[in-house]
Structure 1
Amino acid sequence: MIATRDTSQRRLQISELVRQHGSVQVAALAQRFGVSMQTVRKDLRYLTERGVMARAYGGAIDSGVVGGTPTEPPYEAKRTVFLDEKRRIGQRAAALVKAGDTIAIDSGTTAIQLAEAMPNIEVTVVTNDFGVLTALTSKSNINIVMLGGELRRKNMAFYGGLTVEALGALHVDMLFLGVDGFDLERGITTHYEPEAMLNRKMVEAARMVVAISDSSKFGKICLHRIIPVSDLNVLITDTNAPEEIRQASHQLGFELLLA
């Protein structure tokens, strides 16, 4: 009787975690509840069969995501959540940049932390993000190329045909790619279709693709796919990255840097 009650309580708590965070990971749940990963997989299978969630590689996602898109958080909320992790990731990413490099910085709150951590050295930065522009303006040695287009106030970045067209003649050493969703099977995804289109163009222009993402994005799937995870050269994330991500870095051939 006690075991049954414990199982029911655990499954109830897992359901609540999925509703709160949009996704869960097997390894993290096993550690949280002190049970085996096999037990967690049984719990997820049980909840999936009842429509509470949908299975994803290494975990599960909110069933409301399937066939649609999770709600995009407000801009100000995104700027403050996981701020310490984003700062560390931004600092680790900035350390990869050398004098003489030409880099592209995608939009996003982690991208802003990268821009703030950038040393004032002679590099060229291509971006479509207003926050990145603001963070770099005072750094006089950095040459800034701002991609034009229509301002999307929901994330304070520029998109559209003009933005994509401006990238056509550009080549960069590194692209620092922000992430809304990161799933090993379904790839790197975003909420906004014009952003996905622009990001794919950025990937084409870059010699090296570096994803910058805090660990809350793992297992999340948004509607619009940018690239498969196997197209990454480097992933920079925080030390809470699940074991599946660490294993995937070897299997899929990208370098994993923990901040």
Structure 2
Amino acid sequence: MKKMFAPERRKLILDKLTDQKRVTIKDLSKVIDVSAATLRTDLSKMEEEGLLKRTHGGAMLANQTDSETSFFIREQKNRCEKAAIAQKALQLLSNGQCIMLDASSTALELARLLKETPLRLTVVTSGINTALELNSHPNITVILLGGIVKKGSESLEGTLGINILNQIHIDIMFTSANGFSIESGLTDFSMYEVELKKSMVQASKKIVALLDQTKMNKISIASFATTDQIDMIITDHEMPEGYSEKLAEHHVDIIIASSDSY
């Protein structure tokens, strides 16, 4: 078997967990040609991301209602930081734009701010809560992408909504991610959501990543946008050492939002 990169290994581990509910390092070593130490590192990293629970000698599938993948838990985590990031994102908007909001809890914070403004916009979103938040706004037209309702996430995933993206010009896409690194770009843990987000990125003229400090220098299962595809990052904290210079090389602007007022 050819050597796998970490995201490929972790996707395979997640696939096996989905099928079998639990795995052992011994079993994984038979299909993935890496050391037991590397597999333990993979499992530990995936546990940090809420994808699984470590057990003696292996792992078991995390309870999705208790893991970080639960939308309610993600929404409450770092709420002040997300609100500050959303406030900076709001300043990028003007009347007549067509924008994209993903199903992230940070994009939902931006939708809550938009609800209180007189801005005239078209908002395309894969987030059910985001669509409902803006539905009563007299000057905002909401387009909800079709797809499968993801359990525990309040989001739509899959490729059913892709066709409509070919018919719409998106000025700015606002998106968060499970993780971001210079090498891997924006990454997420759901392969189905990643496929939809890739199409959302392709349909958008400008990509703005909304990333609180817990997302930085973190890699999840699969990438949906490379660093070269990102135009701007809005975050609540100074970048990790060396990031600002590297992002400048990729022509990515950085905005630091302060959460002191929240």
Is 2:91 aligned against 1:112? no
Question: Deviations 1:39-89 (Å, cap 9, x if unpaired)?
Answer: xxxxxxxxxx994899xxxxxxx5426799943512211011111100000
What amino acid does structure 1 have at the position aligned with 2:182?
L
Match of 2:139 in 1: 141
Match of 2:248 in 1: 250
Go from structure 1 to structure 2 and tell me whether the alpha carbon gap of 1:103 and 1:224 turns closer, same or farther (over 3 Å shift): same
Say what the alpha-carbon RMSD is for the aligned residues.
Answer: 2.4
- Distance (whole Å) between structure 2 residues aligned to residue 65 and residue 144 of structure 1: 40
Tell me if the contact between 1:69 and 1:222 (Cα under 8 Å) persists in the aligned partners.
no
- Distance (whole Å) between structure 1 residues aligned to residue 153 and residue 72 of structure 2: 9
Question: How many angstroms does 1:194 deviate by?
Answer: 1.4
Tell me if the contact between 2:131 and 2:143 (Cα under 8 Å) persists in the aligned partners.
no
Question: How many angstroms does 1:185 deviate by?
Answer: 1.2
Give % identity. Answer: 25
- Distance (whole Å) between structure 1 residues aligned to residue 146 and residue 133 of structure 2: 17
Match of 1:64 in 2: 43
TM-score norm. by structure 2 comes to 0.71
Unaligned runs of 5+ in 2: 1-34, 52-67, 258-262
Match of 1:82 among 78, 81, 91: 78
Tell me if the contact between 1:65 and 1:221 (Cα under 8 Å) persists in the aligned partners.
no
Go from structure 1 to structure 2 and tell me whether the alpha carbon gap of 1:245 and 1:155 turns closer, same or farther (over 3 Å shift): farther
Unaligned runs of 5+ in 1: 1-48, 55-61
- Distance (whole Å) between structure 2 residues aligned to residue 65 and residue 166 of structure 1: 39
- Distance (whole Å) between structure 2 residues aligned to residue 161 and residue 226 of structure 1: 14
- Which structure shows the higher helix fraction? 1
Is 2:221 aligned against 1:223? yes
TM-score norm. by structure 1 comes to 0.72
Q: After superposition, where does 1:118-129 map in structure 2 within 5 Å?
A: 118=114, 119-129=117-127
Match of 2:177 among 176, 179, 200: 179
Partner of 1:241, secondary structure, is: coil
Give the 4+ runs in structure 1 shifted more than 6 A.
65-69
Partner of 1:124, secondary structure, is: strand
Question: How many angstroms does 1:130 deviate by?
Answer: 1.1
Question: How many angstroms does 1:131 deviate by?
Answer: 1.6
Tell me if the contact between 1:68 and 1:223 (Cα under 8 Å) persists in the aligned partners.
no
Q: Which moved more, 1:69-78 or 1:224-233?
A: 69-78
Tell me if the contact between 2:232 and 2:255 (Cα under 8 Å) persists in the aligned partners.
yes
Match of 1:100 in 2: 96
What amino acid does structure 2 have at the position aligned with 1:71?
G
- Distance (whole Å) between structure 2 residues aligned to residue 183 and residue 51 of structure 1: 23
Question: How many angstroms does 1:138 deviate by?
Answer: 2.9
Match of 2:160 in 1: 162
Tell me if the contact between 2:217 and 2:240 (Cα under 8 Å) persists in the aligned partners.
no
What amino acid does structure 2 have at the position aligned with 1:193?
M
Question: How many angstroms does 1:241 deviate by?
Answer: 3.2
What amino acid does structure 2 have at the position aligned with 1:81?
K
Go from structure 1 to structure 2 and tell me whether the alpha carbon gap of 1:114 and 1:232 turns closer, same or farther (over 3 Å shift): same
**Residue-pair matches, total:** 204
What amino acid does structure 1 have at the position aligned with 2:207?
V
Match of 1:212 among 205, 210, 234: 210
Go from structure 1 to structure 2 and tell me whether the alpha carbon gap of 1:137 and 1:221 turns closer, same or farther (over 3 Å shift): same
Match of 1:37 in 2: none
Q: Which moved more, 1:151-160 or 1:189-198?
A: 151-160
- Distance (whole Å) between structure 2 residues aligned to residue 203 and residue 80 of structure 1: 26
Question: How many angstroms does 1:238 deviate by?
Answer: 0.6
Question: How many angstroms does 1:183 deviate by?
Answer: 1.1
What amino acid does structure 2 have at the position aligned with 1:115?
A
Partner of 1:174, secondary structure, is: strand
